[in-house]
A and B are shown apart, each in its own frame.
Chain A
Amino acid sequence: MSSKQYDAIIIGAGHNGLTNAAFLAKAGLDVLVLEKNDYIGGATVSRELYEGWKYSNCSYVCSLFRPEIYQSLDLGRHGLEVVPLQGSTTFKQNGDYFGSYHQSTVRRREIARHSKRDADASIRFDADLMKWCRLIRGFLLRTPPNPTSFKPRDMMEFAHLLKSFYSLSEAQIYEFIRFFTMSIAEYLAEYFENETILAHFSGGSIIGTGLGVYSPGTAYVLLHHAMGDVDGNVGSWGFARGGMGSVSKAIASSFQAMGGDVRTGAEVQQINVKGRKATGVTLASGEEINARTVVSNLDAKRTFLNIMDKKDLPEALVHRAERFKIRGSSGKVNIALDGLPDFSALPKDSPLTLGHMHFTDTLERLERAYDDWKDDRWSQDPYLDMVIPSQYDPTVAPPGKHMVSVFVQYCPVEAEGGWTDQKRDAFGAAVIDQISQYSPNFKDLILHAEIRTPREIEAEVGLTEGNIFQGELTLDQLMFNRPFPGYAQYRGPVKNMYMCSSSTHPGGGVMGAPGANAAREILSDLGRTDTTPRDFGDD
């Protein structure tokens, strides 16, 4: 047993763990981050699995990462650069396509090409979505209030929540409540008439979610994907130059510059608890490390069911953790290409290859894709979110070659009869077959592919069931209900133990907010100066 006692240990070197560690180190604490893998990043990682190519193995685009954290940890000087991604396309089965061009005038003309009415309706849609974005963005860097507490701070926070809420008109409050409980298909039907446009805008609502486009609650998931921004352009997404691993590397660099330690290859087996207080951790190697504060960046299920002893936990919490909704529903295929693929539908030099590409042009196909998942099958006709960052990031593939990142919805946690390597490869083949229908030379260009089902994501990253959000983003698991009622303020069930993962408010995505919010609570408990940034605010 090492004699040293750290001020804080953070379990898991994902972006939230590192963010949490950095703000604690900034306050002068002696902080150690422990990572089970031989590399840091968790799901915010870029690995060279094929020489010359850097894949963004899990998360692949960046929008939600809080600019306040970026600025406060000086991540630009630590090597982070987020380049805006340009536009998006849905390819149609009839050989046509819908392109949401980066240039607004061309985008409007393209919507009007599909429906003149939808071109005008998109103005109403954008404004309405922005209303909800603006409201929700105000809560990202705040600890959710406990709605049942009468402590002055909770009452103040709850008052703030209500004030934000009631700055809406009466009609808007009704709309907002409807929005949180509607399916994306129902919500979009209040704006758009064109089938392709409906399918195009629905995609963001099912990504990472074990729900279909007709399931209540999916409208919110669209907001979760629209509330981020790149340099103030709300709803925009960007590439982290060098892959998403650059985000965690920059945070780690900032953390280490402030004196923090990171140990890789150090899997935590147990959070040690003595007398209802966390005292440190025991590694899989048997080594014990002591710390005054222990922070888990693992998801809520793993934290309470895997690395804590049930005898240290309230029974009700164990039940909550067992029932926490963290369904794996996504896969990922990362591909090294020998050149830029052709897309039959797109004219030469179309800027649309620079953005997100999707190949599902109707709501019905999206729902059928979900049906397969319910039956423990990967979608035979999946929803893909494909990007080719190497078109503008020179660091992820050799000159003239390309790196393709394909997010796949849906892929089951357990394929019928259990996953095998053959089934994994068949899943990858289904994805590549769909792309090939729209890009005839795609298959010929493939040099290497990394295929990841929930099985691989859970095994490598440690996300339970491979759920990318560390818990479904449904209303019962959001705000003061995340991860569980009574545990939304980042404090664990024993003293000196905290949670900072995406299982806590405000949830999944490479946001950094859970890490920063947890740091604020820890520093407050320790009576230290708050080093976490204040929300930039709106008006």
Chain B
Amino acid sequence: MSKVIQQGPAHDFKKVLRHSPFHDRIEQQSQIKSWSPWNGYQTARVFDSLSAEYFAIRSSCSVMDLTPMEKYRITGVDALKFLNRLVTRDISNIKPGRVTYVVWCNDEGKVLDDGTIFHLQQGEYRLCSQHHQLDWLLISSLGMDVTISEETHEVAALSVQGPTAYSVLTAAGFVGLDSLKPFGIVHTSFNGTDVTVSRTGYTGDLGYELWVDPANALSMWDCVFSVKERGLYDIRCIGLEALEMVRIEAGFIMPGDDFNTAETTIRAGHDRSPFEVGLGWVVNFDKGHFTGKQALLKEKALPIQRRLVKLSVEGNKSPDQAFIYDAKNGNNIGAIKVQCWSPILKANLALADIEYANGKPPTELWTEIFYQKELAWRVQWARCTVSETAFWSHSRRSATPPPAY
């Protein structure tokens, strides 16, 4: 037999989840060791207290490791042409140094995933997505002069979000943030180390995402936290659970959680179009051809059948895993997909998939909430109200320069 030639580096089957480049610090900060897998990485659910983490995002400054997010580098002569055919939005006007939110569909116009496109330098793009997309990107690149490479593990990413995020990063020595507008990118430095900063996030608040060589991940972390060491601002690590609360408040969707992605749909009718998940605003029929365009044009011509809607649910009982009805004791017309109690709004917020009739939601929406008190089950009906805009937003998210503290 010939000598051993490994395809790629052998990996340790006993080490199931990867450690991110920030892991040493995260491990130190984690008080309760509550972990979840996220894209193959060991990720904190909660560091010590969910409410403290939530209020770090809404009241001071939060830090979260974003490294596990799927990242693809897209370059080549046809990079723009490729991306514009992939996604439903027209991205030809996204200049270097800008970011935009996108969604992409299969030929049937059903959503495969959503994400963000970063125009890093002229003709050089990064696509971030929730789910694994390399196979689809390569299928979609047929006939294009484009290079697509996955760089998830080659770029460390840290999200710094909250009202004092700007003040914290400025105090930490990140320069050039005062003129950075929402969805802007700046290639800057801290302590002489290169870093790319984007004014983006998944919290609906003022915030930044820092993109750095994994070799510099820990020094960047320490640089950010030095501001806390110096006693200037509080900074707190947050986990997946606090992020889930604020993204619902901000009305951001999560493919795979809020609706089934097309690629993983097995039962007919369980996939969703952009219109059905409230993303009609990122579908642009005026640009050239894009994947799913014909199907979406056809769908657009007819009254919408169903929608993922933002619902405020009256009362304080948690409408977890609840059906939606068109009247109290009425017809079942859908279900709540995700929900949270908003500490800032003192309200139950939910995203629900509901059937429309004649292109409109029913005039009344109700949910039947099962809840427990001392292990005894009770049931209560609650009225739901559709919200067309984000449940919560704040002017500091878009103010440039952001308010300083």
Give me the interface of A with B, judged by CB distance under 8 Å: 93-96, 99, 101, 103, 105-106, 108-110, 112-114, 116-121, 123-124, 127, 130-131, 134, 167-169, 171-172, 196, 344-345, 347, 349-352, 437, 539
Contact = CB atoms under 8 A, between A and B. Distances in A.
Contacts of B1: 93-95, 344, 437
Interface string B292-313: 0000000000000000000000
B16 A105 contact: yes
Interface residues of B, number: 33
Contacts of A539: 267
Contacts of B17: 105
Given A94-B2, A114-B7, A119-B132, A101 B13 contact: yes
30 contacts: A93-B2, A94-B2, A96-B4, A96-B6, A105-B37, A106-B11, A106-B16, A108-B40, A109-B40, A110-B11, A112-B8, A113-B10, A114-B7, A117-B138, A119-B134, A121-B135, A123-B132, A123-B135, A127-B263, A134-B266, A167-B267, A167-B268, A171-B107, A172-B268, A196-B7, A344-B1, A345-B4, A347-B10, A347-B13, A352-B13
A123 B136 CA distance: 11
Contacts of A196: 7
Given A94-B5, A127-B263, A120 B134 contact: yes
> Main secondary structure on chain A at its contact with chain B?
helix
A351 B132 CA distance: 26
A113 B135 contact: no
A351 B134 contact: no
B265 interface: yes
A174 to B, nearest CB: 13
Given A94-B2, A113-B10, A120-B133, 10 more contacts: A94-B1, A95-B3, A95-B4, A105-B37, A120-B132, A123-B264, A124-B263, A171-B107, A349-B14, A539-B267
B4 A134 contact: no
A134 B132 contact: no
Contacts of A95: 1-5
B192 interface: no
Given A101-B13, A103-B16, A351-B13, A127 B4 contact: no
A496 B385 CA distance: 65
Contacts of B244: none
B150 interface: yes
A117 B134 contact: yes
Nearest to B37: A105
Nearest to B107: A171
B266 A113 contact: no
A433 B214 CA distance: 47
Interface string B257-279: 00000011111100000000000
B153 to A, nearest CB: 10
Interface in B231-273: 263-268
B143 interface: no
B13 A114 contact: no
Given A108-B40, A127-B263, A169-B268, A120 B13 contact: no
B7 A171 contact: no
A539 B267 CA distance: 9
A98 B148 CA distance: 25
A347 B108 CA distance: 45
Nearest to A125: B135
A134 B267 contact: yes
Contacts of B5: 94-96
Contacts of A344: 1
Nearest to A112: B8
A96 B1 CA distance: 11
B108 A171 contact: yes
A308 B16 CA distance: 59
A233 to B, nearest CB: 15
A496 to B, nearest CB: 42
